[in-house]
């Protein structure tokens, strides 16, 4: 299995632009998570899905952030408009019920 796949691996954009991060979970995993990691705040859970349905989005910072999971093999995290304080590494992770999470390599986002 290829593991969790994220794209792009790196993104540099200017403040105000729209950013879309993509994730392909491991086949057969029924949970998908989006995290953000910074030096200041550590690892933060943004949102997670179960069977493609958003379960808890209480970690989403504000309305500029949105996430979708149109099917079991694809999810997006969108930031519109982006701000410099959104600069972070964004991780996608997936797991089966009862199992541990498997993380993707992350997308390193820099908003100038």
Partner 1 sequence: AQSVAQPEDQVNVAEGNPLTVKCTYSVSGNPYLFWYVQYPNRGLQFLLKYITGDNLVKGSYGFEAEFNKSQTSFHLKKPSALVSDSALYFCAVRDEGRGFKTIFGAGTRLFVKA
Residues that bind partner 1 (CB under 8 A): 4, 31, 33, 42-43, 45, 48, 50, 55-56, 91, 93, 98-106
The span from the CA of 13 to the CA of 42, in Å, is 22
**Cβ closest to partner 1, residue 40 vs residue 70:** 40
Radius of gyration of the chain (CA): 13
The span from the CA of 71 to the CA of 80, in Å, is 22
Q: How far is the CB of 58 from partner 1 (least distance, A)?
A: 9
| Other CB atoms within 10 A of residue 102 CB | 16
**Cβ closest to partner 1, residue 74 vs residue 102:** 102
**Cβ closest to partner 1, residue 4 vs residue 19:** 4
β-partners of residue 21 are 77
């Amino acid at each position: 299995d290829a593991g969790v796949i994220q794209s792009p691996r790196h993104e540099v954009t200017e403040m105000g632009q729209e950013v879309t991060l993509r994730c392909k979970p491991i086949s057969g995993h029924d949970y998908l998570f989006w995290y953000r990691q910074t030096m200041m705040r550590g690892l933060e859970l943004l949102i997670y899905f179960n069977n493609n349905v958003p379960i808890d989005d209480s970690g989403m910072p504000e309305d500029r952030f949105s996430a979708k999971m149109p099917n079991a093999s694809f999810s997006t995290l969108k930031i519109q408009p982006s701000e410099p304080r959104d600069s972070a590494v964004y991780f996608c992770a997936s797991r089966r019920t009862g199992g541990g999470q498997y993380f993707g390599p992350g997308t390193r986002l820099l908003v100038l």
